[in-house]
Amino acid sequence: MRQFAQTALLAWLLATASAAQADTLLTDVTLVDIETGTLARGQSVLIREGVIAEVEAVIAPSDGVAVIDGSGGYLIPGLWDSHVHVFSSATEPDTAFPLYLINGVTGIRDMGALWPISAQQELQARIEAGEVLGPRLILSGAWVDASPGSWPGMFLADTPVEARAVVERIASEGWAAVKAYSMLDEATYLALAEAADAAGLPLVGHIPERVALATAIDVGQDGMEHFGRVAMACATGEDRMLEDLRHVMADGGDQAAIFAVMTGQNRIILDTWDRDLCDTLLARLTASGMHVSPTLVVADFYTGNWPAADAPRMRMIPAEVREAWGRPDFRLEAMTDEVRALATDSIALDRRTFLMAHEAGVPILASTDASFANPYLFHGFSLLDELDLYVEIGLTPREALHTATVAPPRFFGLTDQDGTITPGRRADLVLLDANPLESLGTLRRPRAVIAGGVVLDRAALDALEATLLAEGE
Ligand SMILES: [Zn+2]
């Protein structure tokens, strides 16, 4: 366990903000309603103690209020990345938090951590109390896997009895959700789903390798991570693939045989993907309300679409992390020639299925898997890449923004945030130079980012960038 070492600059920004401006008045901004796509021009927004207190055409500034002229600017709710890992090293939040803020990301959901829950909760509480400047944290990293566990520090369950005991512990420790992981067997997974439901906790995470997506829908899994299993469930070969895996994984299984079956899946999905089956599946998925966190940017890692070493985002990452990213990676080494050869087609099929899912009404949470443990996936920057990708695939900028502003806080059940800019909502906001409904490009350089009521203007954001670049040297 450790204390969060907030960068000196962030601490200073926070101190000046709380000393100088308990209240902030933004004047003459255009409010962007992400739900309806309407604009409200010439509005003023009063922020008091971290909360949006008033939204009116004209608000007279009272004494002690810091007035920010927002003319020409567009105001949107702060962005969420709904799948990240910020606790994979002792110092990761020190870099991750400023990276999120400079990119307008004011909320993140952590999906698996190496820090003890108590240390995560302590940092979460300090952010909520305004003692630490960082994105709002949802702690959903209580991942449950079959032994020995795919990652260190996971909760383990190999039987329904163990699944029930694990959920009891997760509930008592105060996690926001139970996260299923890939190697769970079906009986244990079913018990996990039932126990999570009984404990009043959402069940999110991977669809286990031996479980059909339809089964996860039937048991009411609330959220699913990554997108590959949707494309797989659109393939008539899904049953056969699941059967083959159940067969080779029975009684512990032989690693080489399991690996051979798993790497053969891409071919079968490409060969047996079926539009009618997909339409039926997506209609069921939509009706179930299961939210999907696609993490489509992860494909860039596998295809070698990495930024140049001198790209600013690379230079903002600590040197030792960059070094680790440059070393041979077990995930890339596990790729067979066949998987590599199919990568372009597999990614294209995922994207086509993703557009169909969106058009069918499947709720989507913008997400990236950003982590120091996941090479070339960047806190902050990758969320903007993911949103650009959604637009490239066929969503409108408004629809893409919806997955990062409106959908996440509602899915998390937050009472003071719902992706609207209205009185009573937490003041997590981004002020932009141009209309983001026309192009998301303006997100790359916000005029100001407001996190929990603390205003980071362009000068403060530039100073944060400069600090990150200096620390990354
Ligand atoms: Zn992840």
Strand, coil or helix: 298:
helix
User: What is the identity of the amino acid at 17?
Assistant: A
How far away, in angstroms, is 270 Cα from ligand 1 center? 25
How far away, in angstroms, is 50 Cα from ligand 1 center? 30
How far away, in angstroms, is 155 Cα from ligand 1 center? 15
How far away, in angstroms, is 40 Cα from ligand 1 center? 37
Does 346 have pLDDT greater than 70?
Answer: yes
How far away, in angstroms, is 371 Cα from ligand 1 center? 8
How far away, in angstroms, is 367 Cα from ligand 1 center? 9
pLDDT digits (tens, 9 = 90+) for 211-233: 999 999 999 999 999 999 999 99
How far away, in angstroms, is 94 Cα from ligand 1 center? 19
Tokens of residue 380, six digits: 């902050």
Q: How far apart are CA 268 and CA 240, in angstroms?
A: 9
Q: What is the pLDDT of residue 168?
A: 98
How far away, in angstroms, is 204 Cα from ligand 1 center? 12
How far away, in angstroms, is 179 Cα from ligand 1 center? 11
How far away, in angstroms, is 203 Cα from ligand 1 center? 15
The torsion angle over the Cα atoms of residues 226, 229, 230 and 236, rounded to 10 degrees, is 170
How far away, in angstroms, is 229 Cα from ligand 1 center? 15
* 338: phi then psi, degrees, rounded to nearest 5: -65, -45
Contact present, 10 and 59 (Cβ < 8 Å): no
Contact present, 452 and 443 (Cβ < 8 Å): no
Helices 265-272 and 238-249, packing angle to 10 deg: 160
Q: What is the pLDDT of residue 72?
A: 95
pLDDT digits (tens, 9 = 90+) for 275-324: 999 999 999 999 999 999 999 999 998 888 899 999 999 999 999 999 99
How far away, in angstroms, is 230 Cα from ligand 1 center? 17
Tell me the percentage of the chain whose pLDDT exceeds 70.
Answer: 96
pLDDT digits (tens, 9 = 90+) for 414-450: 999 999 999 999 999 999 999 999 999 999 999 999 9
On the CB side of 290, CA atoms within 13 Å amount to 30
How far away, in angstroms, is 60 Cα from ligand 1 center? 46
Class of domain 79-416: alpha beta
DSSP string, 239-288: HHHHHHHHHHHGGG--HHHHHHHHHTHHHHHHHHB-HHHHHHHHHHHHHH
Q: Write the CB contacts of 170 (distance below 8 Å, at least 6 apart in sequence).
A: 142, 144, 155, 178, 199, 201
pLDDT range class, residue 5, cuts 50, 70, 90: low
pLDDT digits (tens, 9 = 90+) for 317-342: 999 999 999 998 888 888 888 888 89
Q: Please list the residues that pair with 347 across neighbouring strands.
A: none
Where are the domains positioned within the chain?
Answer: 79-416
CB atoms within 10 A of CB 67: 14
Contact present, 110 and 141 (Cβ < 8 Å): yes
How far away, in angstroms, is 257 Cα from ligand 1 center? 25
How far away, in angstroms, is 28 Cα from ligand 1 center? 40
pLDDT digits (tens, 9 = 90+) for 151-181: 989 999 999 999 999 999 999 999 999 999 9
Helices (H) and strands (E) in the chain, counts: 20, 17
| C-alpha pair distances (Å), 380 with each of 354, 449, 460, 464 | 22, 13, 17, 13
Q: How far apart are CA 419 and CA 427, in angstroms?
A: 11
* 343: phi then psi, degrees, rounded to nearest 5: -55, -45
Q: Write the CB contacts of 283 (distance below 8 Å, at least 6 apart in sequence).
A: 360
* 451: phi then psi, degrees, rounded to nearest 5: -120, 115
